[in-house]
Every structure is written in structure tokens, then in C-alpha cells.
Amino acid sequence: MTKLLRWLPVCAVLVLTACDSLVQEVDPGRLPVVDKKLVVHSFISPQDSVLAVAVGESRPVLGTNPGTRLILTNATVTLSDGSRSITIPYNTQDGAYTTSSRTFPIRAGQTYRLQVSTSDNRRVEAVCTVPRAIPIATALVDSAVSTRLFSNQREMVYYTRLTWQDPAGEANYYRVAGDVSYSIDPTRGTASEPLSFGRSSLLVSDRNQDGQTISSSRGELPVTSQVPTTAVRQYTITAHLLHTEKNYFDYHTTVIRQDQTGGNPFAEPVLISGNIEGGLGCFGAYSRATVTLTLKK
């Protein structure tokens, strides 16, 4: 054993030296020239009060610092449904092209086309169809006793779970989300935080469960060291079921998968899904069903 331990530092040096030799400077002149592309993101819904389109520009990056995001402020952004159209202006405060949905209401079942053009004659477009809302059948709240890590403090943790009836004979895609506002003592007022379903459980499809009752994962009500559950007098849970179309589902699924790599250089690369013709990004749609629950303690 002693002889083995003597060799360990030497082996470690050899390994580190070998890894260091893999890092080489690359002459930028030898790299292929990559054209800049328009990057467009927009997700529309009949239940949203604002239409928003983010327009940027891609650029190749050398080194480890990607720099700031390139935002285009002088593009022409048009949204149409075949009979109506609207040009969406740039909003400096939002850093995107935005307008009230009252000026151009979004309707379930309708197909929309998004077109973005620039002064240097670049043009991209995408199409999506807005799905109808799927009602939430049940929203149940349960609880469990949890022990805080390192403190052995036991407390009650509350969860909520959604169920809904999947329409049979068609491919359907869903996302669950929600917020929780909680009332504390009068001197501390109220606060609000996202309902935590966990990123890997946010998106659900009806694959292998077509036409069945689908249940979400458990969404945990927020518990922090600053606001233990014993101090909360009342929870108000606002839970959402988003019925999304495939573009929305595929894009967000691949973004989550990429985030889960944690920047690991040895992880398998994840190609981000998109449907912007001639560019990058995603134009997607969803319809939202909402239920509100009040849990008094």
C-alpha cells in the first residue's frame, strides 16, 4: 500500500501534464467564416396580455467569454393570421418588440406567421398554430414531514399535483407551472414565489398515454430558512396547465437538456430545436388553463 501511495502524486502530475498538452491556441485565420444569423424568440397565447418578440443576432465566439447579447432594435417585425396583420414596434424598456394583445387578439385554433426583416435585406419567418386550452380536472394539495439538511429541524412541507384529461387520437404537449403567494404575520406582509415542479418535470407529452388522465409531478410550495412553514398563515396557489404546440415543447425540452449538462465539456452536445426559417430561435404557442387554491393553516 505504501509503494502505491508513493506513486500517486507522480501519476497525478503525468495526468495533468497530458491534459494540459491538449489545450492549444488556434489561429483565428484558420477557422471557417460563419455568417451572422437572425435569432428570434416569441411565444404567443390567447391568455397573455402582451405580444412580445425578441430579435437578436448570432456571432461566432472565440475564447471563453461570450460577451453581451446582441439585440437588434431596428428590425421590422410583422405578425399575421392570413387575414389580419400587425407590425410590432420596438420597446426600449422591454428590450424587445412588444404591443398589447388587445390590438391583435390571439385565437386558439388559428395559424400565425411571424416575419422579421432588417435594413440589410435579411429576412426570416416561422409559422405555428395555437392549441386550445385543456381544463385542469383536479388540483390536489398534500403534505409531508421534512427534515432540514444539517439542522435536523422537522417541519411540514406542502405539495400540489395537477391532473387533466388528454384528448384522444392526437399528439399533445403540456407544461405545468404556478406561483404561490403566502400570508405571514401583519408586520411582514405577503410574498410570492414560483411553485417548484423541478425543471425535468415541467414538460409532459401524451406519448404512451394518449386519451388517458395525466398527472403532473408534485409541485412543492416554497420553504426557505427566512420563512418557515410555521410562520405562514395562508397559502394561495395559482397553478397553470399550458397546452403547447410541438415547436414550443421541442425548444424548451432541448434548452432544459442543455442546461442539465452544466457546462461539462465531456457531455454530449445538445442541438437546440428551432423553427425559424433562415435563422435561429423559436416561434411557438400555447393556451393556458388556471386554477386557484387557498390553503389555510
More confident residue, 152 or 211: 211
pLDDT higher than threshold 70 for residue 71: yes
Structurally, at CATH architecture level, domain 35-60+68-130 sits in Sandwich (2.60)
The answer to whether 51 touches 94, Cβ cutoff 8 Å, is no
pLDDT higher than threshold 60 for residue 216: yes
User: Residue 1: what pLDDT?
Assistant: 46
pLDDT higher than threshold 70 for residue 39: yes
User: Residue 234: what pLDDT?
Assistant: 77
Chain-centre distance of CA 129, in angstroms? 19
- State the cell numbers at 73: 432594435
Q: Per mean pLDDT, which of 65-74, 108-117, 224-233, 265-274 is the most reliable?
A: 108-117
> Tell me, which fold does domain 138-245+288-296 have in CATH?
Immunoglobulin-like (2.60.40)
pLDDT higher than threshold 70 for residue 61: no
pLDDT higher than threshold 60 for residue 296: yes
Where do the domains of the chain lie? 35-60+68-130, 138-245+288-296
What tens digit of pLDDT does each residue of 100-110 get? 999 999 999 99
User: Residue 191: what pLDDT?
Assistant: 76
In three-state form (DSSP H/G/I as H, E/B as E, the rest C), the secondary structure along the chain is CHHHHHHHHHHHHHHHHHHHCCCCCCCHHHCCCCCCCEEEEEEECCCCCEEEEEEEECCCCCCCCCCCCCECCCCEEEEECCCCEEEECEECCCCEEEEEHHHCCCCCCCEEEEEEECCCCCEEEEEEECCCCCCCCEEEEEEEEEECCCCCCEEEEEEEEEEEECCCCCCCEEEEEEEEEEECCCCCCEEEEECECCHHHCEEECCCCCCCEEECCCEECCCCCCCCHHHCCEEEEEEEEEEECHHHHHHHHHHHHHHHCCCCCCCCCCCCCCCCECCEEEEEEEEEEEEEEEEEC
pLDDT higher than threshold 50 for residue 76: yes
What is the model's pTM?
Answer: 0.81
User: Residue 9: what pLDDT?
Assistant: 45
The region that residue 248 occupies, defined by phi over 0 for left and psi between -120 and 50 for alpha, beta otherwise, is alpha
User: Residue 227: what pLDDT?
Assistant: 53
Beta pairing, strands 280-296 & 38-44: parallel
Query: Cell 502524486 sits at which residue?
Result: 9
Least confident of 10-14, 117-121, 135-139, 251-255: 10-14
Mean pLDDT, residues 253-276? 85
pLDDT higher than threshold 90 for residue 297: no
The answer to whether the 35-60+68-130 and 138-245+288-296 domains have the same CATH topology is yes
**Residues β-bridged to residue 190:** 183
The answer to whether 162 touches 216, Cβ cutoff 8 Å, is yes
What's the longest Cα–Cα distance across the chain?
A: 82
pLDDT higher than threshold 80 for residue 287: yes
What tens digit of pLDDT does each residue of 150-165 get? 656 666 678 899 999 9
pLDDT band at 195 (very low <50, low <70, confident <90, very high): confident
The answer to whether 210 touches 169, Cβ cutoff 8 Å, is yes
**For the chain, how far is it from start to end, CA to CA, in angstroms?**
60
pLDDT higher than threshold 70 for residue 115: yes
User: Residue 258: what pLDDT?
Assistant: 86
